[in-house]
């Protein structure tokens, strides 16, 4: 998909910088679900919605070689959290396109994310809006977002100068619009944090 309304192009970034402590550590996205890495499920759903998809992760990128997905690292050192991953995506997209463009982000642990997530977020943007984030059953999904690369320098200042770490704080600062998503089965925003979550995802996958 190369264009949604007047937003063109839209790049995609899967955020995989978490430490997966409740899963015993390591790369959550490489945990197996239905015979495939969790990341493969996310890629399958997000890739058709964007012009180009990359993975944001730190450390040796060789561990993701089997996924055939380019890897970008945080553009700010010290692992300050998911905001650094969003910024890395914005920096990468800006380098690809030059002119202002858009980036859709999603975490590596949501195997059922909506196949129309990007379209739905884009349609909810106001004319002058620069950011939109998903909301489901009244709850924000902070890193399921659509961001203009025009936000890059403000986000960099927020992280480096203001010490911002919480995505929710950034949403308020950039006046991100919350876009409600309809109920669906399975829960499109079900995310995996524990071994029990992984088992439940396998059950949901078998009945989807």
Domain boundaries, the chain: 10-207
| Range name among 15-29, 57-71, 127-141 with the lowest pLDDT average | 15-29
Residues 162-192: pLDDT tens digits?
A: 999 999 999 999 999 999 999 999 999 999 9
Closest C-alpha among 59, 53, 72, 57 to residue 17: 57
In the numeric block, which tokens belong to residue 181? 């998503």
With H, G, I as helix, E, B as strand and everything else as coil, classify residue 37: strand
Domain 10-207 sits in CATH 3.40.50.1980 = no
- The residue with tokens 């998909």 is 1
Give the Cα separation of 92 and 178 in Å (integer). 25
In degrees rounded to 5, what are phi and psi of residue 28?
Answer: -60, -40
Rg of the chain's alpha carbons, rounded to an integer?
16
Q: What percent of the chain is predicted at pLDDT more than 70?
A: 92
Res. 126: pLDDT tops 90: no
119-136 mean pLDDT:
94
> Helices 82-97 and 152-160 sit at what angle, rounded to 10 degrees?
150
Residue 189: which of 143, 136, 142 has the closest Cα?
A: 136
Q: Where would I find the H helices in 50-109?
A: 82-97
Average pLDDT over the chain reads: 91
What does the block give as tokens for 193? 């944090």
Q: How confident is the model at residue 6 (pLDDT cuts 50, 70, 90)?
A: low
Q: Report the pLDDT value the prediction gives residue 3, as an integer from 0 to 100.
A: 44
Model confidence, pTM: 0.93
Beta bridge partners of 94: none
- Residue 70 contacts by C-beta under 8 Å, 6 or more apart in sequence? 54, 55
Q: How far apart are CA 117 and CA 42, in angstroms?
A: 12
């Amino acid at each position: 998909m190369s264009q949604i309304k007047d937003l063109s192009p839209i790049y995609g970034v899967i955020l995989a910088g978490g430490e997966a402590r409740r899963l015993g550590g390591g790369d959550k996205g490489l945990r197996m679900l239905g015979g495939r890495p969790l990341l493969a499920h996310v890629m399958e759903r997000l890739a058709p919605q964007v012009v180009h998809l990359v993975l944001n992760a730190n450390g040796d990128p060789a561990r993701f070689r089997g996924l055939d997905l380019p890897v970008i690292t945080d553009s700010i050192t010290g692992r300050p959290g998911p905001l650094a991953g969003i910024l890395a995506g914005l920096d990468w997209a800006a380098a690809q396109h030059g002119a202002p463009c858009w980036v859709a982000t999603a975490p590596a642990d949501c195997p059922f994310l909506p196949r129309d997530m990007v379209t739905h977020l884009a349609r909810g943007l106001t004319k002058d809006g620069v950011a939109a984030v998903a909301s489901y059953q009244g709850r924000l999904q902070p890193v399921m977002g659509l961001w203009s690369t025009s936000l890059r320098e403000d986000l960099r200042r927020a992280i480096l100068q203001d010490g911002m770490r919480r995505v929710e704080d950034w949403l308020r600062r950039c006046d991100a619009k919350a876009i409600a998503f309809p109920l669906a089965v399975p829960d499109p925003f079900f995310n995996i944090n524990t071994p029990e979550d992984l088992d439940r995802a396998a059950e949901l996958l078998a009945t989807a």
